[in-house]
Structure formats: structure tokens, C-alpha cells
Amino acid sequence: MTVSKPSTFLSTSLHAISGTVGNLNHELLEYVNPEKPTHDHSSIYYTRFYISKFNLGDKAIEAKFSTPMKIADGDTLTVSGYPKGDTFQVLAYQNTTQQVSGYENWIMLGLGAVFFAAVALGLLNSELVAEGALIPKLFLFGFTLVAIYMGYRALLIREAIKLLSA
């Protein structure tokens, strides 16, 4: 197992780790839309997260992506992310054995952050917020928090991708 240059982005310490995949376990986490008609079984009503748990050397790794990781036991893999408890959370990976890499779409997260920030700005300029109504202020606060989180997450993923190419 090799740990390459760490990067401290805001308060999250990102690292890149290389090694051989062992004890690979793939899981699928599905959420059903509660507003979905009960007779409809189409897949568009499900939200899926593909969870891969494995070891790189002696380090426990966990990766949650919207598409399955392309890895197998014995592959040489480089992952970048951050430690969370006893496991290492993956934001981006590069499989040198199969010549593939993967990460979540940071551009869409950034666009989502811009959208939520625009909605928050629209609320900020509304008459209801200016009058001091509580509900619009709560929505303003919520949209602002979502925009900040999505922007931060997009920047974290982008920094993790940079660590892989360094």
C-alpha cells in the first residue's frame, strides 16, 4: 500500500492510496420513491447507490457511487478520498489493471449548487423575506445550505481527481 501526497482542501484532508484490491464486496442500496404508483415497477423510480467495500493492503476502503466500480480482487488500484472513522471514503479511483477510472460528476454538483444559490438569491430579494416572514427565511436558509454543501462536495471531488493525476 502506498500513500501519496496529501492535500488539505478547506478542512478535509484528502489522500491518494495505491494498492492491490482484496476482500472485495459489492452491495446495492436502493431507495424507492414514496410517490411512485404501486403497480409500476420501472427502474426510474429507484435511486441506486453502488457500495464497494474492500481492502487496499491493510486499509479498509468504502466507495459509494451512482454507477458500479469496475474493480476485481487482485486489481491494482489508486483511490483518493478522506478517512472517516475506521474506513477510507473514496471520491475518485483509477484502476491500472483494467485501465479505467471513475468518480461522481462534479460538474453536475457544481451546476446544482449554482441553481440552489440562484433560488436563494431570488428568495433574498422577495418581499416576504423583506417583511420578516419566518417560512421564506427558513427556505432561504435551507437553499443556501444545500448550495454550499453541493459546491463544497463538487470541489472535493475535483481535488480528489487532481490527486489521482499528480
Residues 132 and 164 in one domain: yes
Band of the pLDDT at 152, cuts 50, 70, 90?
A: very high
Same-domain status, 9 and 68:
yes
pLDDT higher than 80, residue 31? no
Report the share of the chain in percent with pLDDT over 90: 51
Q: pTM (2 decimals)?
A: 0.80
Tell me: do 61 and 25 sit in the same domain: yes
Q: What is the pLDDT of residues 82-114, one digit of tens each?
A: 998 899 999 999 999 999 999 989 999 999 999
The verdict on 21 and 59 lying in the same domain is yes
- Using the predicted structure, report yes or no on whether residue 151 has a pLDDT greater than 60: yes
Same domain membership, residue 96 and residue 108: no
Per-residue pLDDT at 166 exceeds 80? no
State the total domains in the chain. Answer: 2
**Are residues 78 and 137 located together in one domain of the fold?**
no
- For residue 57, what are the domain limits? 2-103
Grid coordinates of 47: 435511486
Residues 61 and 135 in one domain: no
pLDDT, mean of residues 121-147: 86
Q: Taking 80 as the threshold, does the pLDDT of residue 4 lie above it?
A: no
Judging by DSSP bridges, how do beta strands 100-103 and 46-56 pair with one another? Answer: unpaired
Together in a domain, 88 and 163? no
Please give, one letter per residue, the 3-state secondary structure of the chain: CEECCCEEECCEEEEEEEEEEEEEEEEEEEEECCCCCCCCCCHHHEEEEEEEEEEECCEEEEEEECCCCCCCCCCEEEEEEEEECCEEEEEEEEECCCCEEEECCHHHHHHHHHHHHHHHHHHHCCHHHHHCCHHHHHHHHHHHHHHHHHHHHHHHHHHHHHHHHC
